[in-house]
Amino acid sequence: MIKVGDCVIYSLDGARGVVLEVNGSLCRVIWEDYFVSWEKKDLLIFDESLTRSQKIVQFQTKKG
């Protein structure tokens, strides 16, 4: 299941992007060239390794 923030690959040309919005069977994606478009979920391949490496993690720092 593709969700907001996931990295995806467009199956027709191999372009990579990040999902900005999901609406039914469509996803709004910002592509590596900063173009934004709505795409059918069926044409997107979830890229697990890139998604995992791109996640924003909040770090706690010790106050001392």
Reported as a single tens digit per residue, the pLDDT across 5-49 is 999 999 999 999 999 999 999 999 999 999 999 999 999 999 999
As for how many domains the chain has, the answer is 1
In a domain, 59, yes or no: no
In a domain, 33, yes or no: yes
Handedness of CA 20, 6, 46, 25 (dihedral sign): negative
Local structure of residue 14 (DSSP, 8 states): -
Within a 10 A sphere around the Cβ of 40, how many other Cβ atoms? 10
Domain that holds residue 27: 7-53
64: pLDDT strictly greater than 60 = no
In a domain, 24, yes or no: yes
In a domain, 64, yes or no: no
pLDDT band at 52 (very low <50, low <70, confident <90, very high): confident
In a domain, 28, yes or no: yes
Between residues 57 and 6, which one has the greater pLDDT? 6
Token pair recorded at residue 52? 């995992």
In a domain, 1, yes or no: no
